[in-house]
């Protein structure tokens, strides 16, 4: 998963990530922890996360 330019840094995605793979400061997906489940993308209000 990766974050595109639409990200506003709201942190909504991080609240749904069960793997603690989202670093809200800087709006980055931590690759080692991300399993690609897509839950964060489903809850992103601005569709800023791509698989």
Q: Where are the domains of the chain?
A: 2-50
pLDDT in tens, 19-36: 998 887 766 777 788 999
Q: What is the largest CA-CA distance in the chain?
A: 24
Tokens of 15: 């609240």
Tokens of 20: 């603690």
Query: Between 31 and 45, whose confidence is greater?
Result: 45
Rounded CA separation 51/31 (Å): 12
Q: Does domain 2-50 have CATH number 3.30.70.20?
A: yes
pLDDT recorded at residue 27: 67
Average pLDDT value for the chain? 88
pLDDT recorded at residue 48: 93
Share of the chain above pLDDT 70, in %: 96
Model confidence band, residue 37 (pLDDT cutoffs 50, 70, 90): very high
Name the DSSP class of 50: E
């Amino acid at each position: 998963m990766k974050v595109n330019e639409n990200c506003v840094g709201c942190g909504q995605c991080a609240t749904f990530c069960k793997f603690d793979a989202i670093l809200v400061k800087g709006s980055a997906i931590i690759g080692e922890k991300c399993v690609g489940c897509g839950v964060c993308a489903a809850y992103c209000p601005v569709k800023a996360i791509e698989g």
